[in-house]
Amino acid sequence: MAITEENPGYKWVGTRPIRPDGLEKVTGKAQFGADLMLPGMLFGKVVRSPHAHARIVSIDTTAAEAMVGVKAVITGSDFPDLAANGAHASDIDVANNAIAREKVLYEGHVVAAVAATTREQAEAAAKAVEVTYEILPHVLTVDEAMAEGAPLLHEGMITKGVDPAPEEPSNVASKILHERGDLEQGFGEADVVVEREFTTKPVHQGYIEPHAAVADANTDGRAHIWCSSQGHFQMRAYSATVLGVSPGTLKVTAAEIGGGFGGKTVIYLEPLAVRLSQRAGRPVKLVMDRDEVFRATGPTSGTRIRVKMGVSNDGKITAAEVWMAYEAGAYSGSPVGAAGMTAIACYDIPNFVVEGYDVVCNKPRVAAYRAPGAPMAAFAVESVLDDLARDIGMDPIDIRLANAAVEGTQASYGPKFPRIGFVETLEAIKDHPNYTADLGPNQGRGVAAGFWFNAGMMSSATVHINENGTATVVTGSPDIGGSRQSMALMAAEELGIPYESIKAVVADTETVGFNDVTGGSRVTLATGAAVVDACRLIVEDLRARAAKTWDVEVDQVEWVDGQAQHVDGSQPPLSLSDLAAKSGRTGGPISANASLNSRGVGAGFSTQLCDVEVDPETGVTRVVRYLTAQDAGRAISPDYVEGQMQGGVVQGIGWALNEEYIHDQDGVMENPSFLDYRIPVASDLPMIDCAIVEVPNPAHPYGVRGVGEVGIVPPMAAVGNAINDAIDVRMTDLPMSPVRILEALTEQRD
Amino acid sequence: MKYIAPSSVEEATSLLSTSPSAQVFAGATDVVPQLRAGRSAPEVLVDLKKIEELVSMAKDDDKWTVGAATPTANLTEDEAFSGEFPGLSEAAGLIGSDQIQNRSSLGGNLCNGSPAADSVPAMVVNGARAVIAGPNGTRVLDVAEVVTGPGQTSLEADEFIVEFEIDRMPARSGDAYLRMIPRTEMDIAVVGAGARVTLAEDGSIEEAVVALGAVAPTVVRVPDAEAALVGNTADDETLSAVAEAASGVCNPIDDKRGTVAYRKQVAGVLAKRAVLIAIERAEQRNGSK
Amino acid sequence: MARTHITAVVNGDETEFLAEDGTSLLNALRDEVGLTGAKEGCGTGDCGACSVMIDEKVTTSCLVFAPEVEGATILTVEGLADSGELHPLQQCFLEGAALQCGICTPGFLIAAKALLDKNPDPTETEIRYALAGNLCRCTGYDKIVRAVQEAAREMRGQ
């Protein structure tokens, strides 16, 4: 492991204890979204559009309502018409995506939902809902959607970000532009210029737990929702919007979440479950089947990207021109904005234009997926950079070092970078034995790098000291990959008590202050900072109580190793358990809250090294060796930092080699199963070697940057560059499947 | 849906004769996904695993008899069977995960009618026969004759396969099966190739059978490849002829799993490789059964 | 529709429950027996999250019709610990951080147990192939494979 900064004497931070929620998860006790059973609970089932684009002419629910066991049937008309109420456009999109009103915009779009006594009854009733559609022409890709005369999804959509605004509507929701310097001059200074065009397909987050929600509505308008999500406060807000109620009427309890990767930051089932429960007067459970997850929940964008870059013979990038179009799915909001900001953010480039388009099409609305938008752009840019390095005969790490963004570099998206660790990740790769390991026949090696901002946003935490001196750390950030452990480790460090004395819990929306979603790699950073703040308030309080006990000034009291000590040693120390036991005499229970809007974001970089072996006769590619180096800032919980790094890499390998949405001509998804949507299996992979780089984020009390996302940015280019090294073929379309590779090899031979 | 588990072949055939909408199953590894997808809706589910003959393996001097509902894990775990028919054993072992292996069966793999069924080319090259029970007793049919098209078999609605008969592997013979999948596991074959050869005393190829999966509506034999092999050794020229013949016999489709061009090209590659493995195994089996 | 009465030994206890004939064993275990440790990730046998052992053979319970297990012996993740003492696999998964979200963990533990029952000293490759029917989207499998290796070592007394 490459640790670039010494651990400054932390006792708990940086250790590898057992996670607080582990026992429940290895014994089957942990309650995930679909596990809750309530007395009298009904089973729900959603009715979905079989068409990619159609007008809903009528919905007849009478047959379904008359069936045995059916307790409620709802359609779009059971929800307030937000458009008629003058709601914000983004809220209207959320509502219309949850249940269609006039048009269905993708296969799988919800048109109705039922609740019945048994699963079988609910399934039968869902089939009995009769929907009459007027089928409309559809567009499936950015090419089709941007073509002259393309059918429109939203008749009033005028492209934003273009001045003057276009007069005619189109499927282009918005344009983004970043530019600096003089492109023409930059390319003029180049000794070598490479220009290529790339395409990528939509890919799904592929969490193993399908979406699930249980709702129990009361007759007074209040309702309790249990759901597996990346942010139960966000689920509350969105559900309240769709239902047309005040957020305070809804209580949302976070079930354990079975993976999300960004895909569970949005609502699908929650408002439907509430409305069904209200209609039926009983609790209702809605759980998606796997094919519903694929057909109707957010993949990330399919894209078309053109990159032109020039370098001088000494390896300096003189100019970069990037054009990108990202599928948004049915409603605007592709991650092209982030793509534009991240595409060349690893490098200090004097002249560039980055132009991007957010394009709607008749596929499910995209949702966030790990560093949203960045991986596709990096695939394109890092592939072209690899070609440039080959053309000038430069080592792939050296060309990146020659252009790497460092502290003080003006980032391509605007601000100046503070202390960052990109160079350190490049050096960690170069120093690793994998970089010079022998390659066998048909094997090749590729390098690629990636950038992600990481997020801050709003978090709250409460820390309670129990009567025996143990502590409970309460946050509202769903724990998707071990964050309860990092919260407990930081609290142990602050309070000076053993990790085992701390219980970290995720509380419902009525028990803890507001927390933004678990996303953007923000929880250990921002919620962690709130925990640290709350612990520091506790320590201040404890010092004051000790001072009171000893009848001294508070500045005479220090908090060391979990106990109050008098600065001159004149008093016997008071441990946390001593103070807790006597809290009634010193001011009552010991507890503190902290809330913040984090401004301490620290950017994350990852550099990765991939070795592949390609079967030249079948086009099958196997990853034989993989190394990832990532700047964590500080690894609070190294086990789970590695887990994030390895998980991101493997998702990226799947994206590189096999994963893709396949639609037929009618816009119907052909591979909505884990059989044909091929995420990597254990036997596809080698061990994923990790080099954790620690260049502390100066704006966080422990130097945390956030680690969840950047790991998925480099793999597609790393794999593609390795394939190029192995067989001398530049793959520009994802996935780099055996069929595509054999096609490319055949072309090369002919 | 009603679940019934007959305990004898007779009970099962009479049940099928009187239940027009019955679905027989062994491991249900294909049946359940089809039910879930709404592709079938039988009134009666007939579980064949409680019939003793259907879950058994035996050999005599002439042949192996493998119950049609025997979990494929039993085949791969049986050292005598796997030693004698490594290609068939490996093909059966490719049907899904370990979890699936404890349920999937040769009978189910065949009767599901998928052109991509892994065990079928391997059964075909080994000349396996299906013993089929019906209301009027049993009949025997070459495995190659059972499937007539995707999802279609020549079995009547009241018939089912009781067991497979596979003649003992002769001396100087070997079999092999290879498939191409994008991952290393858990996929449906994009192309499958089975081969079996018997060598003459002088090491030349005396008999050869080559069969391909997933490249036509049913598993297909490759007679030109077989003809090219007989009387020759596996030199480059012969292998090229095998590959060319294999590619030529393909009648595949473009679908989500592969293209026509890819399947043709890779069919040749796998046929060649399977033949080489079969020859290597044949060379190692120079005497006893 | 009338439901079928089924008796099976589940995690050591004789257990009776009712289920419709077409109901999966998975749904019967979850809805009728109250054991929600086995999860449905796909319902088609592709993800392994519902893995249980039936008469000591691992299988995906989503592909089993509930009436098939009449008289059978079933082990789910809830039955893996012995009188409160964790199975070495459970302990090694905890210590080796072999889970992130944890949804696939019950299936992996059962599949890994099935492997080690048959093969107490598997190679890395054997572990990877034996677990290929269990999908994990969080970990990249690295720490899972290591945890199984460690548990195998412990169970062999090394």
What secondary structure, in 3-state letters, does A358-379 show?
EEECCCCCCCCCCCCCHHHHHH
Distance CA B87, CA B274 (A): 9
Q: Which of A103, A110, A120 is nearest to A75 (CA)?
A: A110
For residue B271, the domain's CATH number is 3.30.390.50
Residue A8 pLDDT? 77
Please write the tens of the pLDDT for every residue from A572-601: 999 999 999 999 999 999 999 999 999 889
Are A112 and A61 in contact, with CB atoms under 8 Å apart? yes
Contacts of B31 (CB under 8 A, 6+ apart): B23, B25, B40, B45, B108
Are B41 and B35 in contact, with CB atoms under 8 Å apart? yes
Distance CA B193, CA B215 (A): 10
Q: Check whether residue B183 and residue B99 sit in a common domain.
A: no
Are B63 and C94 in contact, with CB atoms under 8 Å apart? no
Distance CA A461, CA C74 (A): 43
Q: Check whether residue B122 and residue B194 sit in a common domain.
A: no
Q: Check whether residue B278 and residue B188 sit in a common domain.
A: yes
- Rounded to 5°, the CA angle C13-C17-C21 comes to 130
Using only C-alpha atoms, what is the Rg of chain B? Answer: 19
Q: Which of A422, A386, A391 is nearest to A406 (CA)?
A: A422
Choosing from B167, B201, B220, the residue where a domain stops is B167
What residue type is assigned to position A678 of the chain? Answer: R
Q: How many domains does the structure of chain B reveal?
A: 2
DSSP C35: -
Average pLDDT, chain B: 96
Contacts of A365 (CB under 8 A, 6+ apart): A93, A97, A106, A266, A298, A328, A329, A330, A331, A333
CA A53 to chain CA mean position, Å: 28
| Number of residues written out for chain A | 750
Q: Is the ipTM of this complex over 0.95?
A: yes
Residues of chain C with pLDDT under 70: 1
Residue A219: count other Cβ atoms within 10 Å of its Cβ: 7
Distance CA A441, CA A52 (A): 46
Q: Check whether residue B199 and residue B215 sit in a common domain.
A: yes
pLDDT (average), residues B220-246: 97
**How far apart are the CA of B196 and the nearest CA of chain C, in angstroms?**
26
Give how far Cα A47 sits from Cα of A59, A125, C132, Å.
Answer: 11, 9, 33
Give how far Cα A522 sits from Cα of A472, A516, A525, A605, Å.
Answer: 21, 9, 5, 15
Give how far Cα A157 sits from Cα of A358, A360, A371, A671, B223, Å.
Answer: 12, 10, 27, 31, 61
Residue B131: count other Cβ atoms within 10 Å of its Cβ: 18
Contacts of B47 in chain C (CB under 8 A): 65, 68
Dig out the tokens for B217 from the structure.
């509506």
CB contact under 8 A, A678 and B183: yes
Which among C21, C63, C130 has CB closest to B29? C63
CB contact under 8 A, B180 and A738: yes
Return the partners of chain C (3 or more C-beta pairs < 8 Å).
A, B
Dig out the tokens for C111 from the structure.
């599949």
pLDDT (average), residues A677-695: 98
Q: Decide which of A748 and A371 is more confident.
A: A371
In terms of C-beta distances under 8 Å and separation of at least 24 residues, what long-range contacts does B92-95 make, across chains too? Answer: B92/B118, B92/B119, B92/B122, B94/B118, B94/B177, B94/B179, B94/B189, B95/B29, B95/B119
Q: Which of A157, A181, A187 is nearest to A170 (CA)?
A: A157
Are B100 and B94 in contact, with CB atoms under 8 Å apart? no
Residue A527 has pLDDT above 80, yes or no: yes
Dig out the tokens for A559 from the structure.
């908090």
Q: Which of A497, A490, A485, A642 is nearest to A20 (CA)?
A: A485
Distance CA A283, CA A720 (A): 50
- Rounded to 5°, the CA angle A291-A230-C112 comes to 65
Residue A7 has pLDDT above 90, yes or no: no
Contacts of B20 (CB under 8 A, 6+ apart): B157
What residue type is assigned to position C94 of the chain? Answer: L
Beta strand extents in chain C (DSSP E only): 4-10, 13-19, 51-54, 57-60, 73-75
CB contact under 8 A, B262 and A743: yes
Distance CA A272, CA A218 (A): 15
Residue B52: count other Cβ atoms within 10 Å of its Cβ: 11
Distance CA A198, CA A324 (A): 9
Contacts of B214 (CB under 8 A, 6+ apart): B115, B116, B179, B188, B189, B190, B191, B192, B252, B257, B258, B263
What residue type is assigned to position A598 of the chain? Answer: S
Please write the tens of the pLDDT for every residue from B42-90: 999 999 999 999 999 999 999 999 999 999 999 999 999 999 999 999 9
For C4-79, CATH number?
3.10.20.30
Residue B287 pLDDT? 59
**How far apart are the CA of B181 and the nearest CA of chain A, in angstroms?**
8
Are A177 and A353 in contact, with CB atoms under 8 Å apart? yes
Distance CA A297, CA A204 (A): 8
Contacts of B137 (CB under 8 A, 6+ apart): none
Assess if residue B30 is contained within a domain: yes
Q: Check whether residue B110 and residue B205 sit in a common domain.
A: no
Assess if residue B43 is contained within a domain: yes
Q: Is A662 on the interface with B (CB under 8 A)?
A: yes
Q: Is A620 on the interface with B (CB under 8 A)?
A: yes
Residue B235 has pLDDT above 60, yes or no: yes
What residue type is assigned to position A386 of the chain? Answer: D
Q: Select from 1.10.1040.10, 1.10.40.50, 1.10.287.130, 1.10.150.120 the CATH code of C88-155.
A: 1.10.150.120
All domains in chain A, ordered by first residue? 22-30+456-598 (3.30.365.10), 34-137+205-296 (3.90.1170.50), 409-451+602-749 (3.30.365.10)
Are B234 and B205 in contact, with CB atoms under 8 Å apart? yes
Q: Check whether residue B42 and residue B122 sit in a common domain.
A: yes
Residue C1 pLDDT? 59
Contacts of B148 (CB under 8 A, 6+ apart): B154, B218
Contacts of A628 in chain C (CB under 8 A): none
Please write the tens of the pLDDT for every residue from B93-152: 999 999 999 999 999 999 999 999 999 999 999 999 999 999 999 999 999 999 999 999
Assess if residue B289 is contained within a domain: no
Contacts of A24 (CB under 8 A, 6+ apart): A30, A256, C102
Q: Is A685 left (phi over 0), alpha (psi -120 to 50) or beta?
A: beta
Tell me the pLDDT band of B238, cut-offs 50, 70 and 90: very high
Q: Check whether residue B95 and residue B211 sit in a common domain.
A: no
Phi, psi angles (nearest 5°) of residue B6: -65, 155
Residue B20 pLDDT? 83
Q: Check whether residue B156 and residue B24 sit in a common domain.
A: yes
Tell me the pLDDT band of B289, cut-offs 50, 70 and 90: very low
Tell me the pLDDT band of A6, cut-offs 50, 70 and 90: low
**How far apart are the CA of B47 and the nearest CA of chain C, in angstroms?**
8
Are B177 and B91 in contact, with CB atoms under 8 Å apart? yes
Task: Please state the three-class secondary structure of A320-337 as a single string.
Answer: EEEEEEEEEECCCCCCHH
Q: Is A621 on the interface with B (CB under 8 A)?
A: no
Phi, psi angles (nearest 5°) of residue A297: -110, 165
pLDDT above 70: percentage of residues in chain A:
99
Query: What domain range includes position B198?
Result: 173-284
Are B269 and B74 in contact, with CB atoms under 8 Å apart? no
Residue A537 has pLDDT above 70, yes or no: yes
Q: Is B240 on the interface with A (CB under 8 A)?
A: no
Dig out the tokens for C112 from the structure.
């890994």
How many B/C residue pairs have CB atoms within 8 Å? 83
Residue A5 has pLDDT above 70, yes or no: no
Distance CA C145, CA A682 (A): 8
pLDDT above 90: percentage of residues in chain A:
97
Choosing from B167, B197, B218, the residue where a domain stops is B167
For the packed helices A715-727 and A374-392, what is the interaxial angle rounded to 10 degrees? 30
Q: Check whether residue B136 and residue B177 sit in a common domain.
A: no
CB contact under 8 A, A675 and B188: yes
Please write the tens of the pLDDT for every residue from A199-244: 999 999 999 999 999 999 999 999 999 999 999 999 999 999 999 9
Tell me the pLDDT band of A344, cut-offs 50, 70 and 90: very high
Residue B288 has pLDDT above 50, yes or no: no
Residue B167: count other Cβ atoms within 10 Å of its Cβ: 12
For residue B100, the domain's CATH number is 3.30.465.10
- Rounded to 5°, the CA angle B149-B189-A202 comes to 110
Q: Check whether residue B181 and residue B82 sit in a common domain.
A: no
Choosing from B167, B187, B216, the residue where a domain stops is B167
b/e string for B15-31 if b means 16 or more Cβ within 10 A? bbeebeebbbbbbbbbb
The pTM of the whole model exceeds 0.80: yes
Average pLDDT, chain A: 96
The domain limits of chain C are: 4-79, 88-155
Which among B102, B103, B184 has CB closest to C132? B184
**How far apart are the CA of A149 and the nearest CA of chain C, in angstroms?**
40
Residue A1 pLDDT? 44
Question: What is the side-by-side order of every strand in the sheet holding C13-19?
Answer: C13-19, C4-10, C73-75, C51-54, C57-60
Q: Check whether residue B152 and residue B199 sit in a common domain.
A: no
Q: Check whether residue B72 and residue B116 sit in a common domain.
A: yes
Q: Is A356 on the interface with B (CB under 8 A)?
A: no
